[in-house]
């Protein structure tokens, strides 16, 4: 049976589009483990063992996003007391197309000793799709070199070189005794079925107090090339340059610091213009351009600057739909869903083309990011050059997005091989009735109507500011959508009224209670009374798990705390609700959800995964991992900046020279000092003292006020 491999105990080291996935002890030992570059696996296994000696791992894990270190005790060597004497350390660094591991053996004992060190390596040159699907692979036979091994096919050449050169380089059948004694095939991934394993051997002689070092360097050369380029080092460094946070909550501070490091490692560049960078969605499965994910992450990160938003907008604009193409679901004005080197076979029923447009929400999200980036100081000339793309996106909302003309944006997979659900909850069982019955397409999601409403208003503001026509028409369109939404989406249960997750094929509400309603807040789609009803529902124990929002309310039909979109907690989903609640003035509910995310981040050492289990604080002292979640993941990491923006009550209007600071939900984090924030080209900091009084530095000539413009 093909099973997607689990990742919850994996150590990921990343420099997009390359990454290393290993066991917690540092061994690349089968399953999903390996060194990957551009959706191909260069190494499937890389293990290091001291032969005939118990190898006892004692520490290991990431040091930074692109580096990790691991230490084991080689038991019994040079020991004259119960204290360990000899250790083996692996220091790992990943760069684009290269994995470097430094092996260090240290003898802290009082006598000399020797040990036979064996490095075992194998490659299946498998596609990421094959690994993710848990399908079996076969090791490729290596070519032996004096200093290492080479594996190759018609596209990929993988070289593993050692310095100093090993005492011996040999190949052994993968099924031979000892060929894989440092690790089996692991949970899923299927690596190493047959084939040949390479071995590099060293006889290490260590005097008392001695130290021995060797370097393993694995490089991948790809004749075809990855779908996207590595981001320039300067762009990685600039992404969160000088950004820092010191608050009364060390959990929040650590989450912020770890996220800033991780985000730089996920940065990629557009091969059509290397100056334009964007965030890959997440590692290991989604280390590529995703319209929705990249847009939402860039929007959350606007307080750290607009360069990422500008690069994301331009990268997607270059690929904006220009024709109607049913196999890819491309349509004029539509923003794509994802781009991959070779497409993706999700299952026997679902196979996505290399450039796939099956998403209903990326198009309005693109318009809203352009508007918000303008408000945060994206240069006017750069904004203006993108306005034709915004107009095309708005037209798509009105035409193709509303294919049946009922006034709502809806989706249906027209290919028979694409995603059946095309909002952010895109698993097949994500959209349902409260009794658990699944939706029948076409489906009009509640949050997509909110995105469209916000995009229409933001688009109108841009058109008016830059002297282009149709601003009034799009404001009227938004008002009409708001009225229709009120009439059609609201339902009621024993706890009172709430917005349904969607309208189904019969145009009737799908009445499951979900986190989707949190995305409506702050978009202007709801009035004050409706916002209060949503806030109350989000704050209830069925949705608020204590670690963040459950995607589906506990007790609902089909609820599962480990269901991908039917009971788990997604950090970006909760952070979106926190921002919306803050903008709508419901600070108590926002504070509770924000505190839940901070609490969860501590359990994950500051690196929040894509999602985690929804059991909640009533059952668990710490959140349980979702075993196949990406970690790091762009919008999960970016969520900390969204939470910080809500805590500080930051709203920007750079064209008007104004910044709003309202730290009304900052009590748990005071005193607080945030630095390295940006409004346009100007860096600024915000301090909030123990009494809650804010002070802004670095913005001479900008009006700073606690009474900024009301949210749309």
DSSP track, 548-614: SBBSB-TTSTT--TTSTTTT-B-HHHHHHHHHHHHHTT-HHHHHHHHHHHHHHHHHTTT---S-B--
On whether residue 707 sits in a domain, the answer given is: no
Q: Is the pLDDT of residue 639 over 90?
A: yes
170 and 208 assigned to the same domain: yes
The pLDDT of residue 712: 33
Residues 264 and 182 grouped into a single domain = no
Residues 205 and 285 in one domain: no
Q: Are residues 556 and 493 in the same domain?
A: yes
Instruction: Find the helix or strand (DSSP H, E) in which 652 lies.
Output: strand 651-653
**pLDDT band (50, 70, 90) for residue 348:** confident
Given this model, what pLDDT does residue 192 score?
52
Do 113 and 242 sit in the same domain of this protein? no
Q: What is the pLDDT of residue 533?
A: 98
With a cut of 90, say whether residue 350 has pLDDT above it.
Answer: no
Q: CB neighbours of 105 closer than 8 A, spacing ≥ 6? A: 74, 86, 87, 88, 89, 115, 117, 204, 206, 211, 212, 213
Q: Which domain holds residue 623?
A: 229-674+681-688
Whether residue 580 is predicted with pLDDT greater than 90 in this model: the reply is yes
pLDDT at 2: 81
Give the per-residue pLDDT at 196.
Answer: 86
Tell me which of 196-200, 301-305, 340-344 is least confident: 340-344
- Report the relative pairing of strands 658-660 and 703-705 from DSSP bridges: parallel
CATH of residue 113's domain is 2.70.98.40
State residue 359's pLDDT score: 98
Instruction: Assess whether pLDDT exceeds 50 at residue 498.
Output: yes
What is the pLDDT at residue 176? 44
CB count within 10 Å of CB 469 equals 9
**17-55 residue pLDDT tens:** 999 999 999 999 999 999 999 999 999 999 999 999 999
Average pLDDT score over the chain: 94
User: Do 152 and 290 belong together in one domain?
Assistant: no
pLDDT confidence of residue 226: 75
pLDDT band for 349, please (50, 70, 90 cuts).
confident
Closest listed residue to residue 121, CA positions, set 34, 189, 53: 34
244 neighbors 644 (Cβ within 8 angstroms): no
Instruction: Say which residue, 224 or 579, is predicted with more confidence.
Output: 579
Task: Note whether residue 699 is domain-resident.
Answer: no
In-domain check, residue 705? no
Task: Please tell me the predicted confidence (pLDDT) of residue 319.
Answer: 98
pLDDT digits (tens, 9 = 90+) for 141-192: 999 999 999 999 999 999 999 999 999 999 998 654 444 433 333 444 555 5
Please indicate, yes or no, if residue 69 is contained in any of the structural domains.
yes
pLDDT of residue 219: 98
On the 0-12 / 13-18 / 19+ scale of CB atoms within 10 A, 651 is: buried
Mean pLDDT of 539-568: 98
Identify the pLDDT of residue 650. 97
**Two tokens, residue 257:** 């610091």
The whole-number pLDDT of residue 194 equals 59
Question: What does the pLDDT look like over 283-309, one tens digit per residue?
Answer: 999 999 999 999 999 999 999 999 999
pLDDT for residue 484: 98
**pLDDT by residue (tens digit) across 96-129?**
999 999 999 999 999 999 999 999 999 999 999 9
Distance between CA atoms of 412 and 403, rounded to whole angstroms?
Answer: 10
Answer yes or no: do 204 and 261 share one domain: no
Confidence label for 637 from pLDDT (cuts 50, 70 and 90): very high
pTM score, whole prediction: 0.95
Q: The tokens of 439 are what?
A: 């939706």
- Give the per-residue pLDDT at 187: 42
Instruction: Confirm whether 2 is domain-assigned.
Output: no
Q: With respect to residue 711, please indicate whether it lies within any of the assigned structural domains.
A: no
Query: Residue 342: what pLDDT?
Result: 83
d(Cα 47, Cα 5) in Å, to the nearest integer?
19
| Per-residue model confidence as pLDDT tens digits over 74-86 | 999 999 999 999 9
pLDDT at 186 (0 to 100): 41
Is residue 98, in this structure, part of any structural domain at all?
yes
Q: What is the pLDDT of residue 184?
A: 36
> Which of 198, 222, 246 is the endpoint of a domain?
222
Total domains in the fold of the chain = 2
Q: Give the end of a domain, one of 222, 239, 255.
A: 222
Query: Using one digit for the tens of pLDDT, what is the confidence trace for 365-418?
Result: 999 999 999 999 999 999 999 999 999 999 999 999 999 999 999 999 989 999
Q: What percent of the chain has pLDDT over 70?
A: 96
Both 215 and 236 in one domain: the answer is no
Paired tokens of 165 = 């050169």
Terminal C-alpha separation, the chain: 50
* Res. 225 pLDDT band, cuts 50 70 90: confident
Q: pLDDT: is 183 or 427 the higher one?
A: 427
How would residue 706 be classed by pLDDT, with cut points 50, 70 and 90?
Answer: confident
- What is the C-alpha separation between 89 and 105, in angstroms, rounded? 6
Are 324 and 217 found together in one domain?
no
Asked whether residue 249 falls in the same domain as residue 138, the answer is no
Q: CATH no. for residue 418?
A: 1.50.10.10
Burial class (CB in 10 A: 0-12, 13-18, 19+), 661: middle
Residues 587-636 pLDDT 10s: 999 999 999 999 999 999 999 999 999 999 999 999 999 999 999 999 99
C-alpha angle 131-132-134 in degrees, rounded to nearest 5: 65
Q: Is residue 709 part of a domain?
A: no
**Are 202 and 263 in the same domain?**
no
Task: Indicate whether 75 and 182 sit together in one domain.
Answer: yes
Q: Which of 168, 197, 222 is the last residue of a domain?
A: 222
């Amino acid at each position: 049976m093909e099973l997607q491999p689990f990742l919850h105990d994996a150590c990921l080291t990343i420099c997009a589009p390359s990454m290393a996935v290993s066991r917690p002890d540092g061994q690349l030992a089968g399953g999903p483990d390996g060194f990957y570059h551009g959706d191909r696996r260069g190494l499937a296994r890389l293990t290091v063992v001291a032969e005939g000696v118990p190898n006892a791992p004692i520490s290991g894990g990431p040091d930074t996003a692109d580096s990790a270190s691991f230490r084991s005790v080689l038991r019994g060597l040079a020991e004259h007391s119960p204290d360990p004497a000899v250790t083996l350390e692996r220091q790992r660094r990943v760069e684009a197309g290269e994995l470097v591991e430094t092996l260090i053996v240290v003898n802290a004992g009082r006598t000399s000793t020797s040990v036979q060190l064996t490095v075992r390596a194998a490659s299946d040159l498998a596609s990421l799709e094959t690994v993710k699907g848990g399908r079996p692979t076969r090791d490729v036979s290596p070519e032996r070199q004096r200093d290492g091994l080479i594996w190759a096919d018609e596209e990929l050449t993988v070289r593993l070189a050692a310095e100093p050169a090993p005492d011996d380089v040999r190949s052994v059948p993968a099924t031979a005794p000892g060929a894989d004694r440092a690790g089996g095939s692991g949970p899923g991934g299927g690596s190493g079925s047959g084939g040949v394993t390479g071995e590099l051997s060293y006889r290490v002689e260590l005097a008392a107090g001695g130290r021995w070092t060797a370097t393993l360097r694995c490089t991948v050369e790809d004749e075809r090339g990855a779908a996207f380029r590595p981001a320039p080092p300067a762009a990685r460094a600039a992404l969160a340059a000088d950004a820092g946070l010191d608050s009364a909550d060390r959990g929040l501070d650590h989450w912020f610091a770890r996220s800033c490091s991780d985000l730089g490692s996920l940065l990629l560049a557009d091969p059509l213009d290397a100056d334009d960078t964007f965030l890959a969605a997440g590692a290991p499965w989604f280390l590529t351009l995703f319209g929705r994910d990249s847009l939402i992450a860039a929007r959350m990160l606007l307080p750290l600057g607009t360069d990422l938003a500008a690069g994301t907008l331009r990268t997607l604009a270059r690929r904006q739909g220009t024709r109607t193409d049913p196999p890819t679901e491309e349509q004029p004005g539509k923003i794509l869903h994802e781009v991959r080197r070779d497409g993706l076979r999700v299952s026997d029923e679902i196979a996505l083309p290399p450039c796939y447009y099956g998403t209903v929400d990326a198009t309005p999200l693109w318009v809203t990011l352009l508007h918000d980036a303008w408000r945060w100081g994206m240069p006017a000339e750069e904004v203006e050059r993108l306005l034709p793309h915004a107009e095309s996106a708005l037209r798509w909302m009105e035409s193709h997005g509303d294919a049946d003309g009922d006034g709502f944006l809806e989706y249906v997979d027209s290919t028979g091989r694409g995603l059946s659900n095309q909002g952010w909850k895109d698993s097949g069982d994500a959209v349902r009735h409260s009794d658990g019955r699944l939706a029948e397409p076409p489906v009009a999601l509640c949050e997509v109507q909110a995105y469209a409403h916000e995009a229409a208003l933001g688009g109108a503001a841009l058109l008016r500011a830059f002297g282009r026509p149709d601003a009034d028409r799009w404001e009227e369109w938004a008002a009409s959508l708001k009225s229709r939404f009120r009439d059609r989406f609201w339902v009621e249960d024993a706890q009172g009224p709430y917005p349904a997750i969607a309208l189904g094929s019969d145009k009737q509400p799908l009445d499951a209670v979900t986190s989707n309603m949190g995305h409506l807040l702050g978009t202007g789609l709801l009035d004050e009374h409706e916002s209060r009803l949503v806030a109350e529902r989000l704050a209830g124990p069925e949705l608020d798990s204590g670690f963040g929002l459950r995607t589906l309310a506990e007790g609902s039909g089909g609820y599962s705390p480990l269901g991908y979109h039917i009971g788990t907690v997604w950090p970006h989903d909760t952070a979106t609700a926190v921002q919306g609640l803050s903008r709508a003035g419901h600070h108590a509910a926002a504070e509770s959800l924000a505190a839940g995310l901070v609490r969860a981040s501590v359990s994950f050492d500051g690196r929040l995964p894509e999602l985690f289990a929804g059991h909640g604080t009533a059952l668990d002292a710490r959140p349980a991992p979702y075993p196949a979640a990406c970690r790091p993941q762009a919008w999960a990491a970016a969520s900390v900046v969204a939470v910080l923006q809500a805590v500080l009550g930051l709203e920007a209007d750079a064209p008007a020279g104004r910044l709003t600071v309202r730290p009304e939900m900052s009590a748990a984090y005071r005193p607080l000092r945030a630095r390295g924030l940006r409004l346009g080209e100007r860096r600024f900091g915000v301090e909030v003292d123990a009494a809650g009084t804010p002070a802004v530095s670095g913005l001479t000539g900008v009006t700073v006020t606690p009474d900024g413009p009301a949210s749309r």
